[in-house]
Amino acid sequence: MIKNILITGGAGYIGSHISEILVKNKKKIFIVDNLSTGYRTLINKKAKFFKVNILEVKTVKKIIQENKIDSVIHLAANLIISEGEKYPKKYYRNNVVGTQNLLKACSKSTVKNFIFSSTAAIYKDGQFKVSENSIIKPKSVYGKTKINCEKIIQSFCKRNNINYGILRYFNIAGSSPSGKIGLINKSDHLFKNFSREVMKKRPVLKIYGNDYKTKDGSCIRDFIHVSDIAEIHFKVLEKIDKTNKSKILNCGYNKGTSVLDVANEFKKQTSKKVKILITKRRKADLVKIIASNNKLMRFIRWKPKFNNLRKIVKSCLMWEKRQ
């Protein structure tokens, strides 16, 4: 039975939404975050917070032991694709070495379950709709660090009799319906950038490339609402704990949406005159990638609640207006 859950990176965008759903389900949560990209304002009031870097093995191990942690949700990572291309050593250290150190802290402990936030960026470009068995060939440094972590986690968990759930995120967007949490940091997140831009007097929505071989020339992604992602974490954690089965699962809606479609939806939801600016392609962007989520659906019998572009954009704008 799951009682005490440690969330690394719990002061971030995804971690705060996972915390929200775990607290609603009366779970005791402990957050480890060095606040390099996280925010104190996003930390759930019912969580016990430790300002710690996961590279600090002894400190993290002490937290796990003293609080009898039975489940770990590992989110802490550097995740901006363009930044990873500039600073590969930083990404390897924080993502791969950070994961190795966290696993060391979990060894010979009370930890029974381990959930890892992976990414669709590990898949080979051009496959379009991908299953968990599709070809693995990451294009970005970020994707390469994540597949390295997956292999390390599988090996460690098998040796130490720990259940694991590796969740391959597709493109996460949106904000909690509660209006209390959302994306704060200024990254290259598409929906955040568009939301911020729409708040200006003369919004300009920038699209990187319109010469891809897609329906409208822009990249196609499987965008999934962050609250649905949070629920997936909770349901997968419960299921691996109950069945003692480890799984690798794609997390998306099985539906593609173009970047231009997203821009046009933002235009619809504002009365301002919005300009769409086409710029050159980015080096590490995939052309088109959509999740085959059949395995996920079967494993947790999940029904998404926010599978709608209009709802996702509306929640982003609602959050941005509060900033």
Q: For 126-138, what is each residue's pLDDT tens digit?
A: 888 999 999 999 9
Mean pLDDT of the chain: 95
Give span(s): CATH 3.40.50.720, the chain: 4-172+223-251
What is the average per-residue pLDDT within 119-129?
Answer: 90
pLDDT of residue 186: 64
What pLDDT was estimated at residue 1? 87
Q: What is the mean pLDDT of residues 69-88?
A: 93
86-108 in b/e form (b: 16+ CB < 10 A) is eeeeebbebbbebbbbbbebbee
pLDDT of residue 284: 74
Token pair 């050593």 is at which residue? 89
Cα dist from 177 to 5, 11, 313, whole Å: 23, 18, 12
Question: What are the catalytic residues?
Answer: 142
Determine contact, residues 84/142, Cβ cutoff 8 Å: yes
Residue 167, pLDDT score: 98
Cα 315 to Cα 226: distance, rounded to the nearest angstrom: 10
The pLDDT of residue 86: 92
Question: Cβ of 268: how many Cβ atoms within 10 Å?
Answer: 11
Is residue 60 within 8 A of residue 54, CB to CB? The reply is: yes
Q: What is the pTM of this model?
A: 0.94
Superfamily of domain 175-221+254-321: UDP-galactose 4-epimerase, domain 1 (3.90.25.10)
Q: What confidence category does residue 153 fall into, taking pLDDT thresholds of 50, 70 and 90?
A: very high
**CATH among 3.40.630.30, 3.40.50.300, 3.30.1360.40, 3.40.50.720 for 4-172+223-251:** 3.40.50.720
What are the residue ranges of CATH 3.90.25.10 in the chain? 175-221+254-321
Q: What is the mean pLDDT of residues 258-265?
A: 97
pLDDT in tens, 156-195: 999 999 999 999 999 999 999 988 999 997 667 899 999 9
